[in-house]
Amino acid sequence: MERWLALELASTIRHDGDGGVADDLSTVRGTTRWIGERRDLLAGQLPIDGLVVDEGLRLELVGLRQAVRALFARAVSPAPPSPADAGRLMTAEQAIARLNRVTAREPVAPQLEWPVEGAPATRLLSAEDDPRVRLVAALARAAIDFLTGPQRGRLRSCTAPRCVRYFVKSHGRQEWCKPSCGNRARAARHYRRQRGAAQGGPAHS
């Protein structure tokens, strides 16, 4: 399955399995773990071995996530956004300005790499020394790539009860982020129909 850094950043706000919302970036320790688990996705973009996560970096990632989620809400519109932050989204203009401000902090030069055996690839040569700046900028670039790529049209907000996830549809009729959400949504629909029938009213779907 294809993975997108921008989607994974947005998904750090998630259903906690108990009717509430959990935030993987709520502490420095959680943020360190989240970055460590994305070592493979970040490899080649920046050296994360020397990266020390502090409260400042955590807050920058949270700020970038706000921008990404606001733009995800715009991307799925007119369908409703994730209910996790639907009532407190920044405007699209603010979100775009924030993304662009973050990427501008790391000037990069694309470099062509083409090994004798293998495919040509782009490597970004950075003039920035601070790995924290590079990390946030890399995530912002990933968000720009995501929003300007074909996957934007397949981005959805899961409408299953209690789910707060954005996901990229992998096939045409996919309505929910994962099978368990589909089961929950169908059960809820069934329950509403039953209740409608029991009350003698019209069944709602």
- Enumerate binding residues for Zn ion (CB under 5 A): 158, 160, 163, 165, 177, 181
Least spacing, CB of residue 130 vs Zn ion, in Å: 37
Q: Which is nearer to Zn ion, 28 or 76 (CB)?
A: 76
32/151 with CB nearer Zn ion: 151
Q: Given the complex with Zn ion, which of 68 and 158 has the nearer CB atom?
A: 158
- Cβ of residue 181: shortest distance to Zn ion, in angstroms? 3
Residue number, 75 or 95, with CB nearest to Zn ion: 75
Residue 74 CB, nearest distance to Zn ion (Å)? 20
Minimum separation from the CB atom of position 180 to Zn ion (A): 8
Q: Which residues pair with 122 in a beta bridge?
A: 112
Q: Shortest distance, CB of residue 174 to Zn ion, whole angstroms? A: 11
Dump the DSSP string for the chain: ----HHHHHHTTEEE-SSSSEEETTSSHHHHHHHHHTTHHHHTTT---TT----HHHHHHHHHHHHHHHHHHHHHHTTSPPPTTSGGGPPPHHHHHHHHHHHHHTS-EEEEEE--SSS--EEEEEE----HHHHHHHHHHHHHHHHHHSGGGGGEEE--STT---EEE-SSTT--SSSHHHHHHHHHHHHHHHHHHHHTTSPPP-
For residues 11 and 45, which CB has a smaller minimum distance to Zn ion in the complex? 11
For 138, other C-beta atoms within 10 Å of its C-beta total 24
